[in-house]
Amino acid sequence: MRVLVVYAHPVDGSFCWIVRDRVRSSLSAAGHQVDLIDLYAEGFAPAMSAEEHALHRSGPETKPAISDHARRLSAAEALVFVYPTWWGGQPAILKGWFDRVWVEGVAYSQPQGASRIRPRLGHVRRLAVVTTHGSSKWVNVLQGEPGKRVIMRGLRALCHPRTRSRWVALYNVDRSTPEQRSRFLDRVDSVMSRL
């Protein structure tokens, strides 16, 4: 499969950076074609400008700043997001990527007079998130896991109706031991090899 991996962490050498490399190597070893977008390394601008907002309904061809990312999203058969969970959700740069790239004409359409949007990412059959949390699973459940809902309910609804999804999370990462991190990386290998 053509797998688009979208990575969001500002520090090279972080644990998330190690996770990203494990995701990429596991997918490649399984025979997938991997396309990596490293949002921080590319200097992706997450803020939508007023001009871009005014053109929100006009299609990706009117937004040259996101055209390459829109093309890569449109070519993907699987999506894997790798990022740390901060304040219950995605880093701002990744949320901005959703806002700016998952636009009409790319992720959905809304025909004139229609009351609902129509998904356009039917070619995406697999969706996975690999993330870390500083807090425990219990704290995240109490918060309602807002970051998980954004992707697993919101974005997934724009993919194929039978898209298989996986949520791979390491909770309490700040207090995790080297052994726990190693087991988590093994789990990442296992999930990516069966994507």
Q: How confident is the model at residue 140 (pLDDT cuts 50, 70, 90)?
A: confident
SS3 state of residue 44: coil
Q: Order of strands across the sheet with 164-170?
A: 33-38, 2-7, 78-85, 126-133, 164-170
d(CA 35, CA 72): 8
Question: Facing residues of 19 across strands?
Answer: none
Look-up: residue for tokens 């996986």? 166
pLDDT score of 138 more than 90: no
Q: How confident is the model at residue 193 (pLDDT cuts 50, 70, 90)?
A: very high
pLDDT in tens, 47-88: 999 998 888 888 888 889 999 999 999 999 999 999 999 999
pLDDT in tens, 113-122: 888 999 999 9
- Architecture per CATH, domain 2-193, reads as 3-Layer(aba) Sandwich (3.40)
Q: Model pTM?
A: 0.96
Q: Mean of the per-residue pLDDT values for the chain?
A: 95
Q: 52, 63 in Cβ contact below 8 A?
A: yes
Domain ranges of the chain: 2-193
pLDDT for res 57: 82
**Residues ≥6 apart with Cβ < 8 Å to 13:** none
Q: At what angle do helices 15-29 and 178-193 cross, to 10 degrees?
A: 30
Per cent of the chain over pLDDT 90 is 85
- Backbone angle region of 168, left / alpha / beta, with phi > 0 → left and psi within -120 to 50 → alpha: beta
